[in-house]
Amino acid sequence: MSTPTLDKHSAALDAAEDGASHLITVTFRIRRFNPEISEDASWQDFQLEIDPKERVLDALHKIKWELDGTLTFRRSCAHGICGSDAMRINGRNRLACKTLIKDISPEKPITVEAIKGLTVMKDLVVDMEPFFQAYRDVMPFLITTGNEPTRERRQSAEDRERFDDTTKCILCAACTSSCPVFWNDGQYFGPAAIVNAHRFIFDSRDEGGEQRLEILNDKDGVWRCRTTFNCTDACPRGIEVTKAIQEVKRALITRRF
Ligand code: SF4
Ligand code: FES
């Protein structure tokens, strides 16, 4: 037999499905870290009355604005575009602004912590510099030789399709920080850098493919990938990250791209 609390949650969740607005009580268990106070991180619970149709980002705002102004996290667009609010929610990397409370078992405490593999600076904020350095290292820009064309560089729809998926990356780091190889060795380029190399390697207008492949042929490059698919599962843009990594590996072997 379900408890009255669970009944209340179920009714509110049903109402949420129907589009009605009902508040439920949700516990957010947040991993706090402030190096100015302690070297150790610890969990802190916050209880909120909140509409389950709201997003985890809305809950974090409510906590910051109404309960504890010291709670620190990144966000900008709040609509799944800027990639700044990737975090581990109930043990899985997600964007807080794209995660509805009703979809993540709000009858139990919802855990929120910083993404793994990057140094935590405060609460949910990590140092993204190693991540962006790997991105810069694969030269994520069009490389061409010869004279500037007098008109646009044309490309067939078929050629454009080859790298369409990897153009969708918003550099949120959800993939790289879900990768066990990256957790164990932060020197690994990581899935996001490879995705962004893929975007140019397979672009028929680009002439830097060989250079990028050589960069990724490094001991910290694509061969470190163990095909665990964590990256594909984590990507909020639905990019087939593991497939892109496999295509780069194949291009390294065949030198055809
Ligand atoms: S590939 Fe997906 S998960 Fe990885 S950084 Fe890009 S958008 Fe984020
Ligand atoms: S705040 Fe921009 S992607 Fe979530």
pLDDT in tens, 196-234: 999 999 999 999 999 999 999 999 999 999 999 999 999
Instruction: Choose the weakest-confidence range: 18-22, 190-194, 202-206, 220-224.
Output: 18-22
Q: Which of 57, 86, 104, 248 is nearest to 178 (CA)?
A: 86
Q: Which atom of ligand 2 is nearest to the CA of 236?
A: 3
Alpha-carbon distance of 171 to 77, in angstroms, equals 14
Residue 219 has a CB neighbour count (10 Å cut-off) of 8
Instruction: Choose the weakest-confidence range: 6-10, 57-61, 97-101.
Output: 6-10
The residue whose CA has the least distance to atom 2 of ligand 1 is 235
Sign for the CA dihedral angle at 1, 3, 94, 29 comes to: negative
User: Please, where in the chain does CATH 3.10.20.30 lie?
Assistant: 4-126
CA of 111 to the centre of ligand 2 (A): 19
Which fold would CATH assign to domain 4-126?
A: Ubiquitin-like (UB roll) (3.10.20)
Beta strands in 117-193 (DSSP E): 120-122, 125-126
Q: Which ligand is nearest to the CA of 84?
A: 2
Q: CATH number of the domain at 129-254, out of 3.50.50.60, 3.40.50.1380, 3.40.50.720, 1.10.1060.10?
A: 1.10.1060.10
Instruction: Give bridge partners of residue 87 from the DSSP assignment.
Output: 94
Residue 257: predicted pLDDT: 80
CA of 209 to the centre of ligand 2 (A): 31
CA of 170 to the centre of ligand 2 (A): 9
Report yes or no: 8 and 30 within 8 Å, Cβ to Cβ.
Answer: no
pLDDT in tens, 130-147: 999 999 999 999 999 988
User: Please, where in the chain does CATH 1.10.1060.10 lie?
Assistant: 129-254
Q: What is the 3-state secondary structure (H, E, C) of 187-221?
A: CCCCHHHHHHHHHHHCCCCCCCHHHHHHHHCCCCC
Residue 185: predicted pLDDT: 85
Q: Which ligand is nearest to the CA of 78?
A: 2
CA of 128 to the centre of ligand 2 (A): 15
Confidence class for position 104, pLDDT limits 50, 70, 90? very high
